[in-house]
Structure 1
Amino acid sequence: MSSLRPFHLAVPVKDLSETRAFYRDVMGFEEGRSSDKWVDFNFFGHQFVIHMASSSAESDTNPVDGKAVPVPHFGVVLNWEDWENLSAKLKSSEIEFVIEPYVRFEGEVGEQATMFFKDPSGNALEFKAFRNDSEIFSK
């Protein structure tokens, strides 16, 4: 692949107003086009859309590091400083974490900071940062 292109992701929500306020006011995402059934957001340069749906996606979990990781989930890989800033912002906003912010593989290849939480419609998000971005896909 020669260049990274923005992705497009659409997720179901049960309450458009509440979920819109979460992504706009808590997460700080810039709002784009919208209708009475959907809203576009700038998700770190990617097109993220919340859509009204009769039911939100059911989720399951997988065990990772002794924690129940929600599946499905989505997010973005931030740089370390931005991850720390977002973590602090979410903690001060009293977000209820599914998995509290922590560092995995400390001092090892692939060292990463991660955290999981859900939006008001139950969509699971993971934000992470690698100590060294060149190790994102390392084994």
Structure 2
Amino acid sequence: MSSSPTKILEVFDNPNIKRDFVIRIDSSEFTCLCPLTGQPDFADIHIEYISDKLCVELKSLKNYFWSYRNEGAFHEAVTNKILDDLVEAMDPRFIRLKAIFNVRGGVYTNIECEHRKDGWEPREVVNV
């Protein structure tokens, strides 16, 4: 696997496909460019997902994020593109992605999107 920017997301087999378990990934190093001004935009990316058969490999995810560094992208579009690419690579039972972009001109942007696999229903939450 390369240590350079790439749009390829590597995956590996889910070690326990019989159980719904949540995988949370946080990255504070996402950057892209404003498509209007060319100035850098910085974001914290928060992913939580329930795998079906595949999990995303973290180094490839880091290199995937890195591939946006010199690309112009609106916050809403890039957040949904990342989610779409993760769904395509893993086909998870459930995934939610939240992008929290740093303030620019006194305006904060938070984008949250999710995907549920057809037919998948979350289990009832147990409160003890």
- The TM-score, its normalising length taken from structure 2, stands at 0.26
> Which protein has the bigger strand share?
1
Greater relative contact order (Cα < 8 A, sep 6+):
2
